[in-house]
Amino acid sequence: MHAKRLISMSRSDPFHALSRRARAVPAASRGFSLLEAVAVMAITSIGLVIGVPSYQSLSERSRVSSATHLLTAHMASARSTAVTYRVPTVVCPSNRAGGCRTDGDWSHGWLMFFDRDGNRQPDTPHDILRDENAPIHPSLRIFSSVGRPSLRYLPDGRSAGSNLTVRVCRGATLRARIIVNNGGRVRTETFNGSQPCLG
- State the pLDDT at residue 52: 53
Give whole-number Cα distances, 154 to 3, 94, 117, 150, 166, in Å: 110, 20, 12, 13, 19
> What tens-digit pLDDT sequence spans the chain (199 residues)?
454 544 454 455 554 554 555 455 555 555 667 777 777 777 777 766 665 555 567 778 888 888 899 999 999 999 999 999 999 999 999 999 999 998 999 999 999 999 999 999 999 999 999 998 876 788 889 999 878 889 999 999 999 777 899 999 988 899 999 999 989 999 999 888 778 887 5
**What distance separates the 2 farthest-apart alpha carbons in the chain?**
118
pLDDT score of 199:
53
Residues 109, 101: Cα–Cα separation, whole Å? 10
**Other beta carbons less than 10 A from residue 69's beta carbon:** 13
Q: What is the DSSP letter of 125?
A: G
CA distance 29 to 47: 26
Q: Answer whether 132's CB lies under 8 Å from 109's CB.
A: yes
Looking at domain 67-190, its CATH architecture is 3-Layer(bab) Sandwich (3.55)
| HSE toward the beta carbon, residue 169, CA cutoff 13 A | 20
The per-residue DSSP string of 68-86 comes to: HHHHHHHHHHHHHHHHHHT
Domain-wise residue ranges, the chain = 67-190
175 within 8 A of 168, measured Cβ to Cβ? yes
The predicted structure's pLDDT at residue 44:
74
144 vs 105: CA distance, rounded Å:
7
Q: What strands lie across the sheet with 89-93, from one edge to the other?
A: 128-133, 109-114, 89-93, 151-153
The pLDDT value recorded for residue 163 is 86
